[in-house]
Amino acid sequence: MLTIYINDLELEVEEGSTILEASEKIGIKIPTICFHDRLTPPGLCRQCVVEVEGARVLMPSCITKVREGMKIKTDSERVVRARRTILEMLSSSTDLSESPDLLEQMKIYKAEDGRFENSSKRNFKVKDDNPFYMRDYSKCILCERCVQVCSADIQFSYALTTAGRGYNNRITTFFDRKLPETSCVFCGNCVAVCPTGALIASNEFNVKALGEK
C-alpha cells in the first residue's frame, strides 16, 4: 500500500492504482471523456487532468499511477481552466447535441459554446450503408472507444480505424469501405460505447428523424 494525499486528504491505496481509481475510492469525482472502465484507457482527451505537486504539467488521472507521498489537487483553478478549454475546443468543432454527459460538463465548467469563433463544426454526411446502425461523424469527438472495442479490447474484428491528421483526423473503415464490405460482424459493441450519438442504431435514428419532422 502507498500513502498519498488528494485535496489534502490522506489515504492508503494499492500500488499500481491510477489517480482516478484512488479518487473514486474516497468519492471524489473526476470528469472523463475517452475513459471507459471496460477498455484500455487511451489517455486521449485530457479531461481528467489533475495537478500533482512538483509536476510541470497537468497529469491525466486515468493513466497516471500513484506514487508514495504524491500530493494531488483534483479541482484547482488551473485544472478547472484546462477542463473548460478542452470542452470549448470540442464544442467548437463538433455537434455535441446528443452528448448529455458533455453538455452537463459544459454547464459545470461554465464552458462557452462558440468561444473559438474562427473555427467551424465539422460536417460529414451521415453514413447509412447497412441495416443496423448509422454513423454520423459530425458528432464524433474522436475518443476512439469504437476502434478499441472493435479491435483487441473486445471484438477482434478490426473493422474500424482512425485516419487523417489534425482537423482531418477521423474514424473510418479500412480503405473507407462500406461496413458490409469490411470485417464488421455488426455486434453493436461500438454503438454501445459511443458517448456522443455518432454511432446510433438505425431504428433509433429513424424514430428521432420522424420526431423532428
Binding mask 40-59 for ligand FES (x = CB under 6 A): ---xxxxxx-----------
Question: Which amino acid would we find at residue 75?
Answer: D
Phi first, then psi: what are they for 147, rounded to 5°?
Answer: -65, -40
Residue 62 Cβ vs ligand SF4, minimum distance, rounded to whole Å: 15
Residue 13 Cβ vs ligand SF4, minimum distance, rounded to whole Å: 30
Phi first, then psi: what are they for 203, rounded to 5°?
Answer: -65, -35
Binding mask 155-174 for ligand SF4 (x = CB under 6 A): ----------------x---
139 near ligand FES (CB under 6 A): no
Residue 200 Cβ vs ligand SF4, minimum distance, rounded to whole Å: 10
- Residue with C-alpha cell 452537463? 104
Question: Partners of 206 in the beta sheet?
Answer: none
Cell of 185: 460482424
Nearest alpha-carbon partner for 28 in 54, 69, 61, 65: 61
90 near ligand FES (CB under 6 A): no
Tell me the site size for ligand FES, rule CB under 6 A. 12
Cell of 119: 473555427
Where along the sequence are the contacts to ligand FES (CB under 6 A)?
32-35, 43-48, 60, 62
